[in-house]
């Protein structure tokens, strides 16, 4: 027999957008209870599809550890957007319960107003000082590969953005060449407080898939990827599943029933069956 948990996971996996719409209709406590029943990764996908208000209120109603585990599976930009809508004391508790690497990243993103380049950037993208040699730079790239986009950003020793080179250029450089000698210094960049509408139309996207983000003094803060900007334009980039009212109603009954939200109805059916049994016996 297929387990209840397997049925829930199958439904969420195939109808994530539907599940999100259903949870939006529930009181925050009930939505939180259903999210807690799911493993963190699929639960995070459901929350990402929920409206901002419904998602944040459901998260706030969850146990701190369960909510933090869910948030830890979300993209950083989505997590920061969600946390902005949670009461400050709850937000601090959630951030404190996150893994160190995500906690640090979110604290940086939350410094900047929502809808700005600073709130959308990756603050831990690899950046290297310009006096390193290409050979030394490649060694660091290998050790921090998960933080490397297609580009290597270069700063001076006061952390101001100096240039950029892509991985192909780095590989073609002589091992003894300094990054300053092989980098491109006429690069496009974005100020951290630039609003997202302006970022979307930045001419730098014609040449780069990621743009460096700097403060007013030119200090490198991180990088913003084009796909992050596109997600702002088109939601989360994934088409919602279109369903009719009847199908959605059936899905809603199915989802809520599996989650134990129809206990009253189940009890009523049991009483009715018992009564029917007595009638049959007469």
The string over 6-36, giving b where at least 16 C-beta atoms fall within 10 Å of a residue's C-beta and e elsewhere, is eebeebbeebbbbbbbbbbebebebbbbbbb
Biggest distance spanned by C-alpha atoms of the chain: 98
User: Cα–Cα distance between 156 and 117 in angstroms, integer?
Assistant: 22
User: Model pTM?
Assistant: 0.64
Per CATH, the number for 4-110 is 1.25.60.10
What residue has token string 């491109």? 184
**Pick from 74, 65, 143: nearest CA to 106:** 74
| CA 192 – CA 121 distance, rounded (Å) | 8
The domain made up of 127-234 has a fold known as: CBS-domain (3.10.580)
Angle between helical axes of 76-84 and 52-61 (0-180°, round to 10): 80
> Which residues are CB-neighbours of 246 under 8 A, at least 6 positions away?
none
**Phi and psi, residue 234, nearest 5°:** -120, 25
In angstroms, rounded to a whole number, what is the distance separating the alpha carbons of residues 74 and 137?
30
- CA–CA distance, 15 with 207 (Å, rounded to integer): 37
Domain residue spans in the chain? 4-110, 127-234
pLDDT tens, residue order, the chain (282 aa):
456 667 777 778 888 888 888 888 889 999 999 899 889 999 999 999 888 888 999 999 999 999 999 999 998 888 988 998 899 899 999 999 999 889 988 998 899 998 899 998 988 888 999 999 999 999 989 888 877 878 999 999 889 999 999 999 999 999 999 999 999 998 899 999 999 999 999 999 999 999 999 999 999 999 999 988 887 655 444 433 333 343 444 444 444 454 444 333 334 334 444 545 544 444
Give the CA distances from residue 274 to residues 175, 257, 282, in Å, rounded to whole numbers and listed in that order: 83, 21, 13
d(CA 260, CA 263): 6
């Amino acid at each position: 027999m297929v387990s209840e948990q397997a049925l829930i996971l199958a439904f969420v996996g195939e109808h994530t957008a539907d599940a999100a719409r259903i949870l939006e209709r529930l009181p925050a406590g009930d939505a939180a209870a259903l999210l807690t029943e799911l493993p963190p990764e699929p639960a995070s996908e459901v929350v990402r599809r929920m409206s901002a208000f419904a998602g944040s209120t459901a998260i706030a109603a969850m146990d701190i550890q369960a909510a933090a585990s869910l948030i830890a599976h979300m993209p950083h930009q989505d997590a920061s957007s969600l946390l902005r809508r949670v009461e400050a004391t709850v937000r601090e508790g959630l951030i404190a319960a996150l893994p160190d690497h995500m906690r640090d990243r979110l604290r940086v993103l939350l410094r900047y107003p929502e809808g700005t380049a600073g709130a959308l950037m990756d603050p831990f993208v690899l950046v290297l000082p310009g006096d390193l040699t290409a050979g030394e730079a490649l060694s660091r790239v290998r050790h921090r590969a998960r933080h490397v986009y297609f580009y290597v950003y270069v700063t001076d020793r006061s952390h101001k953005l100096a240039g950029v080179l892509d991985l192909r250029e780095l590989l073609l450089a002589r091992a003894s060449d300094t990054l300053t000698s092989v980098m491109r210094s006429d690069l496009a960049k974005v100020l951290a407080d630039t609003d997202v509408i302006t970022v979307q139309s930045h001419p730098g996207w014609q040449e780069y898939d990621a743009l460096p983000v700097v403060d007013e003094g030119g200090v490198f803060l991180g990088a913003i990827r084009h796909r992050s900007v596109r997600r702002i334009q088109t939601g989360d980039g994934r088409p919602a599943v279109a369903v009719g009212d009847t199908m959605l109603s059936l899905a809603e009954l199915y989802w809520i029933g599996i989650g134990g939200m129809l206990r009253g109805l189940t009890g009523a059916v049991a009483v009715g069956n018992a009564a029917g049994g007595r009638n049959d016996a007469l």
